[in-house]
Structure 1
Amino acid sequence: MQAQKLRDTKYEKGFLAKGQKTGVWEYYGYTPSGEKVVLQRYDYDQHRLLYFRPGPDITCHTEVSPGKWSYVRPDQPPLFIGSEVALAEYTSRMVYPPAAQAQNIQGKVVVSFMIDTLGHLSNYRLVQRIGGGCDEEALRVARTLPEQWVPARMGRRAVAVEYELPLNFRLAQP
């Protein structure tokens, strides 16, 4: 029997075995009033999403049938395993380009990529740019995201979607 270690933080709870997540994990978020709520429940042994807390309705560019794409609201949007909190942790690794800082460039860069029916990422492209090296940095960060996505679903079937990831560049106020 291998030793398991419980990880219980503000945002996640589950067991680790040899440094890998195992069994069912819960991922948490907080309501505006500060109430702790379960955002996702994921079974790492079965590689299966057990529960997700519905958020706002999201319209995605979705492959509704082979080769036919349309903007629709999937029954289940694509989900980053660990919730938006974990996704934000990865995107916080952006490095503000010195050229952009020197030119006081701030704003939002939007990177689009496809999440296929298996949760794999591809076709990265810039949808909204601000320059100064920020666009390249946003694209670099998007390309380093781990492939821990649960694909979108229409009914019982997984569907490919084009996902738009906004990344904000803000200079610290003196």
Structure 2
Amino acid sequence: MNNNIYKLTQLILFLGLAFGAQAQKMHTTKWESGMLDRRTKVGVWEYYGITPSKEMVVVQRYDHTANKLIFYRPGSDVPYSTETSPGQWQRHSVDRPPLFIGGDAALAAYTTQLQYPQLAQERNIQGQVTIGFIIDKQGKASAHRVLRSIGGGCDQEALRVAKTIPDEWIPAQIGGNDVAVEYELTLTFRLAKQ
């Protein structure tokens, strides 16, 4: 009887290890690489982007278990409208810009969901709509508004899409402190050539 219990215990351990090993698996695409545990990102992930010279580079390393940015590739120095004190805003250069976790490729998963409004198609309206929104010190987005308009329903559609972007932002920093900034997102409406 002890031998049967021992064999059963060994089988249970083996199955646990076998299925436990299957729970976490490596996930790699053109734009990201890291471990998944039951479809949830765990551990350190690398996110990739393309430089203006068409070179594929790491743009972010983010620890999804610790919810912490480990590395980001600095881009151009763009000033942001920054909250300097409650309700007071001023344009400033920041030490670290607001970052969407996963970089531009992850952000594109949402921004490419634009649906061309019928009125804009009928009137051949094309162009860019810029949406501004606040990314607060906790990385939450709010106060979405249209900054540049083209009409024909495009402004409302761009606003709708911008509001679908999840709160997966890393706040901007100045002097090692998180700061609220207004982020500007430009969405392009272009009709297919016939």
Question: Structure 2: how far apart are the matches of 1:74 and 1:171?
Answer: 36
- Aligned residue pairs: how many? 174
**Equivalent position of 1:109 in the other structure:** 129
> Which of the two has higher C-alpha Rg?
2
CA shift digits 1:9-63 (9 cap, x unpaired): 1110001111111110000012344432100000011111100000011110001
**Equivalent position of 1:163 in the other structure:** 183
The DSSP-based 3-state class of the residue aligned with 1:56 is coil
Q: Any stretches of 5+ residues in structure 2 without a counterpart?
A: 1-19
Q: How does 1:1-174 map to 2 (within 5 A)?
A: 1=20, 3-174=23-194
Identity of aligned residues (%): 54
Higher helix content, 1 or 2: 2
CA offset at residue 87 of structure 1? 0.9
CA offset at residue 126 of structure 1? 0.6
Runs of 4+ with >3 A deviation: none
Amino acid at match of 2:76: P
CA offset at residue 116 of structure 1? 0.3
CA offset at residue 99 of structure 1? 1.2
Question: Structure 2: how far apart are the matches of 1:98 and 1:104?
Answer: 10
CA shift digits 1:131-162 (9 cap, x unpaired): 11101100000111011000000011100001
Amino acid at match of 1:104: N
Question: Structure 1: how far apart are the matches of 2:142 and 2:114?
Answer: 20
Amino acid at match of 1:81: I
